[in-house]
Amino acid sequence: MSAFATNSQGTPAVDSPGRTEGAALTLIPEKSAREWGIALTLFVASCLYCRPFYDYVGFHIDEGLALQGAQRILQGQVLYRDFFSFYTPGSYYWLALLFRIFGSSILVGRAALMVYGGLFSVLTYLLARRVCTRSNALLAVVPALLVSLPGCFVVFHGWDSTLWALLALYCAVRLLETRRWTWAFATGSLAAAACLVEQSRGCGLVIGLGAGFLILVAKDGLESWRWRENLAALMVGSALPVLGTLGYFARHGALGPMMADLMWPLRHYSAPSRLGYGAIETPFLGLLSGSPGRRAFGLFVTSPLFIVSALPIFAACIFAYRAFRLYKDGTAGQAARYYVLVSAALSGLLLATLATGRPSAINIMLQAPLFSIVLAWMVEAARTPTLRVARTLGLSYLLVSFAVLGFSFFTIPSTATATVQSRRGLIRTTPDTAEALAFIQSRVAPNQKILVYPYQPLYYYLTGTYAVSQYDRLLAGTYTPSQFEEMAGELKSSQPSVVLFNPTFTEVIPGMCPNAPLGTVVARDPVVDYLFSRYRACRTLGNPMQLSHVVFMVRDDLSCSGAGPDLAGKR
């Protein structure tokens, strides 16, 4: 029987005589019109599922970084040379390309996220379907669809890196099945793109795929893999994006600054922001406090975070077991090779997540479209009669808990009872935030240079303004004193007429960076010192309990001109 054969019921076939792989490779779903129909339905349904989040803006503190960075690039600035970032350049230039084609609007970025949601579901299903029944392959879609993307529906590099990594893994599996150089070239190109979008995750994927392919080639022999043409295609595909990127920045005199910026987090950010594996971050921590009954309910609601955090560990265990079995068995079917390759790639992603020093539950959840394949494997392996009851109970708990957490995310956009026409698209948000945004836009001109301090770059993007500094944010406890002095110098030389200042932001720093030196957090801030010596407060905007809260300030030689209650002199 062929390794790609399937029976009429779509249940696992026997991968080799006298032995069942638990979930043997049953088919290549791309050869089935019915599977393509399911994939198309998944894509459309997933996009529609994400629709309520499309135009809702909750002022997530990181969303403005990629948006404003892409806008800077459209204005002719060069990343690293003209503005600071410690992320690899992929997301900035990818988003700038989308803006160039469809127009600069936050809704363009959000539409891309909706498409990502559809692709996540399709690719996860196709990868899981190769060794799982249809129902279990559909189960793999649940974590990403219900809680992963809706839980953090913001435009930033995390989703870009997950997409490129998932595409690279899919192409690697197609290379395993066909041994064709076209899939080798695509695998190399997409893996390189994943590195250019998020350095740690992309490198982890490359290491994992490399280990998986080395094990398979050592088992099968070089010639069976057409190693000359496939290795050449893989290397060329990997080199072209990297060499093109290095050439671009070298041409614009930004290669040195790029290397310095990309090394910056290793010296300054990793240690202060370090968290334990699977750590729960704000706002979920609030669900785990209070009365015993409240804590029990909170534990149930947040249990999907623990479940998804366990999947990378299971992937590493599966990799070790499958690699051992591959060498122990005299012959191994295609299913065994599939498990080795995919689990190796997922293990590489686990290593990368650990290496960042921030393997929190939320960061792992951002990779749920990849790791949820393991969930389908585990449920498929539990189809034996002795595990039937445990399987039923486990599936019931899993579906209910994921549905409850997913529903809680859907309640967030319902608070957006106000709309406001920002300069980057019509958005829904809370009344306080809508009023603040409208007020700011009435008093600053498009393309005007202002300062938003210390951390809310989304205001720059939505109001169509730009920072007076190369820094779109500064975070006490992680950024260096010299960087604060540098921003203070840029502020003194430009003297913008308007500053948006969040005086309470330092209160959330311990939650974001728990190991940030307390002395650094409360130390003298030259930017704040200059603000209160040369600027006066005119009006408090937004809800003080939210991170979108800012104080509208103007230079002392300017009038608040009807900006509201005069708060001058209050610090």
217-254 confidence digits (pLDDT tens): 988 888 778 888 999 999 999 999 999 999 999 999 99
Judge whether 67 lies within some domain: yes
Instruction: Give CA angle at 147 (426, 348), nearest 5°.
Output: 115
Same domain, 503 and 445: yes
Q: Under DSSP, is residue 240 helix (H, G, I), strand (E, B) or coil?
A: helix
Same-domain pairing of 465 and 395 = no
pLDDT tens figures, 312-325: 999 999 999 999 98
Is the Cα dihedral 402, 403, 407, 410 positive or negative? positive
Sorting pLDDT into bands at 50, 70 and 90, what band is 295? confident
To 5 degrees, how large is the angle CA 324–CA 326–CA 327? Answer: 70
User: Domain limits at 80?
Assistant: 30-410
Among the candidates 410, 445, 477, a domain finishes at: 410
pLDDT recorded at residue 18: 31
570 found inside a domain: no
The percentage of the chain sitting over the pLDDT mark of 90, rounded to a whole number, equals: 63
Cα separation, 206 vs 222, in Å, equals: 20
Residue 224 to residue 57: CA distance in whole angstroms: 52
| Span 555-571, average pLDDT | 60
Confidence of residue 564 (pLDDT cuts 50, 70, 90): very low
**What is the predicted pLDDT for the residue at 509?**
73
State the SS3 of 455-492: ECCHHHHHHCCEECCCCCECCCCCCCHHHHHHHHHHHH
Say whether both 349 and 320 belong to one domain.
Answer: yes
Same domain, 438 and 329: no
Mark whether 188 and 274 lie in a shared domain: yes
Cα-atom radius of gyration of the chain, to the nearest Å? 25
- What is the three-class DSSP state of 567? coil
- Residue ending a domain, among 343, 376, 410, is 410
Q: To which H or E segment does residue 539 belong?
A: strand 535-541
Residue 22 located in a structural domain: no
At 183, which amino acid appears? W
Helix (H) or strand (E) holding 345: helix 334-355
Band of pLDDT at residue 15, cut at 50, 70 and 90: very low
Give the count of beta carbons closer than 10 Å to the beta carbon of residue 184.
Answer: 29
For residue 158 the two structure tokens come to 């995390």
Rounded Cα–Cα distance for residues 438 and 548 (Å): 13
At position 169, the amino acid (one-letter code) is: L
| Shared-domain flag, residues 376 and 231 | yes
In a domain, 9, yes or no: no
Residues 272 and 371 in one domain: yes
End-to-end CA distance of the chain: 77
| Same domain? 301 vs 448 | no
pLDDT of 1 reads 30
Q: What is the mean pLDDT of residues 88-96?
A: 96
Q: What is the pLDDT of residue 521?
A: 52
**What one-character DSSP code corresponds to residue 222?**
T
Tell me the β-bridge partners of 539: 552
- Residue 273's pLDDT band, with cuts at 50, 70 and 90, is confident
> What is the number of domains present in the chain?
2
| Per-residue pLDDT at 143 exceeds 80 | yes
**Overall average pLDDT of the 505-525 stretch:** 68
Name which of 71-85, 187-201, 355-369 the model is least confident about: 355-369
**Is 313 within the bounds of a domain?**
yes
For the stretch 331-349, pLDDT in tens is: 668 888 999 999 999 999 9
Domain-embedded: residue 15: no
Q: Is the residue at 182 inside a domain?
A: yes
Closest to 355 in 3D by CA, of 202, 204, 165: 204
Residue 113 in this model has a pLDDT that exceeds 60: yes
Same domain flag for 95 and 231: yes
Cβ-proximal residues to 238 (8 Å cutoff; 6+ apart), any chain: 188, 189, 191, 192
Q: 460 and 398, same structural domain?
A: no
pLDDT of residue 542: 85
Tell whether 398 and 476 lie within a shared domain: no
Of the given ranges (162-171, 201-210, 382-391, 557-566), which has the lowest mean pLDDT? Answer: 557-566
CB atoms within 10 A of CB 539: 20
Residue 143: asked if its preceding bond is cis (omega within 30°), the reply is: no
Report angle CA 409, 415, 419 to the nearest 5 degrees. 120
Same domain flag for 230 and 259? yes
Contacts of 376 (CB under 8 A, 6+ apart): 128, 132, 136, 137, 139, 140
**pLDDT tens per residue, range 442-466:** 999 999 999 999 989 999 999 999 9
Mean pLDDT of 340-366: 92
564 found inside a domain:
no
Residue 62's pLDDT is what?
A: 87
